[in-house]
Amino acid sequence: MNVGSIPLLRELRWPKFQWRIAALKNGFQDATAYRVEFLLEIAGSAFVPAAIQSVLWYAMFKIGGATTVAGMTYPEMLHYTFMSILFTQIRGGDLDFELSEMVRSGQLSNYLVRPVGVVEFVWIRGIAPKALIAGLCLFIGIGFELYLGVSPFRIVGAMFLALLGNIIHYQISAALAATAFLWEEAYSMLMVKNMLVNFLSGELFPLNMIPERWAWVWKSTPFYLYVYGPTQFALGRWSTAEYFHQLLFAAAWLVVGWLLIRITWGLGIKRYLSLGG
């Protein structure tokens, strides 16, 4: 049997992994070309939400006099904030903007002539620095779990869920970015998507603060799998059964995301104009 004739087996051949590993290396080198900028970006993205949330919780609990908010005490809220910041670092970045700009400017042509899938290629290069950050967050998370007295295995499972969230986020973003093939103003749509993600992923506040009658809103999107879900599991607020249940959801979203990319990019590429040059 000729292995090369079966697409899945063909992708599992070692040389097919080689380019992915090389792209990962390349993406990492690119992201860390300016070390200070790289480190400041991480510090900035962690510090700003931490500071905002800390002030907010302080105001509610210490100034406002609340004892619990959405069933959480002041220390629990701070634990949530700290842990959620670790997972916020893993969630996808602005690769969708990069994709839509590539379509708009014609830079996509550079990738289309190479024998690799452009959507996957861009993701691999983008995930490279995130992988390093995930390792660092895992290390910090284990220390925090030990301090809280929670099993450190939870942070491993939570990090895995956060990484699946990263893929789902990219899939949805890439599908939306494909609108740039027919609509030059795709940029604004991506901004709206980002605002929704900020709100519904749980990176700004625990989603159980949203009234129960509106809970269907965040539960019907996969965004809570990026930060809220992993944080809940890492802090021991989700049972293992619940975790596996959510993994199934994540798997379903992955399939949906894969289909979305196939359809949107399959249709979009036919309308590509390869402008410039």
Joined tokens for residue 104:
């708009």
Q: Which stretch binds another protein (CB under 8 A): 13-21, 82-90, 131-139, 202-210?
A: 13-21
- Binding mask of the shown chain, residues 140 to 179, with x at each position contacting another protein by CB under 8 A: ----------------------------------------
Q: State the amino acid at position 12 in one-letter form.
A: L
Least distance in Å: CB of 18 to another protein? Answer: 5
Least distance in Å: CB of 34 to another protein? Answer: 7
Apex CA 171: angle with CA 182 and CA 230, to 5°?
145
- Pick from 6, 9, 12, 29 the residue near another protein by CB under 8 A: 29
- Pick from 107, 194, 198, 221 the residue near another protein by CB under 8 A: 107
Pairwise CA distance, residues 170 & 176, whole Å: 10
Contact 201, 230 (CB under 8 A): no
| Residue in the block written with tokens 């604004």 | 188
Joined tokens for residue 118:
């452009």
Pairwise CA distance, residues 65 & 60, whole Å: 7
Least distance in Å: CB of 210 to another protein? Answer: 36
- Pick from 9, 30, 136, 153 the residue near another protein by CB under 8 A: 30
Q: Toward another protein, which CB reaches closer, 31 or 133?
A: 31
Apex CA 147: angle with CA 162 and CA 202, to 5°?
30
- Pick from 50, 66, 116, 189 the residue near another protein by CB under 8 A: 116
Q: Which stretch binds another protein (CB under 8 A): 60-68, 89-97, 101-109, 192-200?
A: 101-109
Pairwise CA distance, residues 99 & 92, whole Å: 13
Give the single-character DSSP code of 4: G
Q: Which stretch binds another protein (CB under 8 A): 25-33, 38-46, 130-138, 204-212?
A: 25-33
186: exposed, middle or buried (C-beta count within 10 Å: 0-12, 13-18, 19+)? Answer: buried
Give the single-character DSSP code of 72: B
Binding residues among 246-275 for another protein as defined by CB under 8 A = 270, 272-274
Which residues form the interface with another protein (CB under 8 A)?
15, 18-19, 21-23, 25-26, 29-30, 33-34, 106-107, 109-110, 112-116, 270, 272-274, 276-277
